[in-house]
Amino acid sequence: MIKETSFAIEVAHLTVSYNAKPALLDVNVKIEADQLVGVIGPNGAGKSTFIKAILGFVKPDLGTVKIQGTHVKNAKGRVAYVPQRGAVDWDFPITVREVALMGRFQKIPWYTSPRKKDRDAAMEALDMVRMTDFAHRQIGELSGGQQQRVFMARALAQGSDILLLDEPFAGVDASTERAILEVLERAKRSGKTLVVVHHDLSTAAEYFDKLLLIKQRLYAYGEPYMVLNEDLLSQVYEGKLKIFKDVVKKEEN
């Protein structure tokens, strides 16, 4: 028998609605550990609801989300969240080191200050993403890729086995995209499960081990060559298929 913890995230019959409109409809998926998983789907497909469900923010109409076998409500902090770049106030008076330290907040009792081991853990996480040289910079002074890495460091400092990234590749140039991907792959090698919301179908196959195609309901979950098939994509993306024809072709070669 497979032991329960072999799945990082288990979603069963997940149905979520807003004002009688289903955002997610009967989503069933089991995500294995140590994977780099891309979540794809058109705008308004319920990707952000899916993220919220994994973080335990939404009250589902039906169904359950389990994180490493534990119900999501009792698994606070087991999924480390890396926000979209647009969602962060880059003028906030905070340094790189302090952001990384935030990853430790859950472990620090409310009545004490961060101790040395917390600060060390934060620095160690910054070291993993090669950002120690910037520890005392204000976060707005960094380049797009560096900013993304700082938040990766925060997620790593959290010590969670599962990382959830919301469009980390949005609005960065090609070389930065490479650098971020490298950090993701390093995290994966150290035994993390990464769930990444991604919008660029042309790179999806290359970047991820598994893809999760979603539009209200789950259309496919599996190896990229299975998910990126013309039939499925035409169902999900409807009229916009033309653009993706060569994506599919590239996959077939």
Q: Per-residue contact track with another protein, 30 to 69, x per CB under 8 A?
A: -------------------------xxx------------
Distance in angstroms (rounded) separating the CA atoms of residues 141 and 139: 5
Q: Which residue has the tokens 């999900």?
A: 236
Pairing relation of β-strands 70-71 and 193-197? unpaired
Residue closer to another protein, measured from CB, 78 or 198: 78
**How big is the chain by its Cα radius of gyration, in Å?**
19
Q: Does 79 bind another protein (CB under 8 A)?
A: yes
Minimum CB separation from another protein for residue 93, in Å?
5
Residue closer to another protein, measured from CB, 75 or 220: 75
Size of the site for another protein (CB under 8 A): 27
Burial of 124 (C-beta count, 10 Å sphere; 0-12/13-18/19+): middle
Interaction with another protein in 215-244: which residues (CB under 8 A)? Answer: none
Interaction with another protein in 143-202: which residues (CB under 8 A)? Answer: 154, 158
Distance in angstroms (rounded) separating the CA atoms of residues 142 and 195: 25
Q: Per-residue contact track with another protein, 90 to 109, x per CB under 8 A?
A: --xxxx--x---x--xx-x-
Distance in angstroms (rounded) separating the CA atoms of residues 158 and 78: 8
Q: Which stretch binds another protein (CB under 8 A): 34-42, 80-88, 125-133, 214-222?
A: 80-88
Distance in angstroms (rounded) separating the CA atoms of residues 222 and 60: 24
15, 26, 61, 88: which one contacts another protein (CB under 8 A)? 88
Minimum CB separation from another protein for residue 92, in Å?
5
Q: Does 133 bind another protein (CB under 8 A)?
A: no
Which residues, in sequence order, are CB contacts of 175 under 8 Å at separation 6+? none
19, 21, 111, 174: which one contacts another protein (CB under 8 A)? 111
Amino acid at 69: G
Look at residue 75 and give its three-state secondary structure: coil
Minimum CB separation from another protein for residue 223, in Å?
29
Going from the C-alpha of 234 to that of each of 44, 48, 209, 248, the distances in angstroms are: 16, 22, 22, 11
Look at residue 132 and give its three-state secondary structure: helix
Q: Which stretch binds another protein (CB under 8 A): 19-27, 81-89, 167-175, 236-244?
A: 81-89
Residue closer to another protein, measured from CB, 140 or 171: 140
Pairing relation of β-strands 70-71 and 62-67? antiparallel
208: nearest Cα among 190, 236, 228 = 228
Q: Which stretch binds another protein (CB under 8 A): 76-84, 174-182, 194-202, 245-253?
A: 76-84
Question: What's the token pair of residue 172?
Answer: 């960065």
**Which residues contact another protein (rule: CB under 8 A)?**
55-57, 76-77, 79-81, 83, 87-89, 92-95, 98, 102, 105-106, 108, 110-111, 114, 138, 154, 158
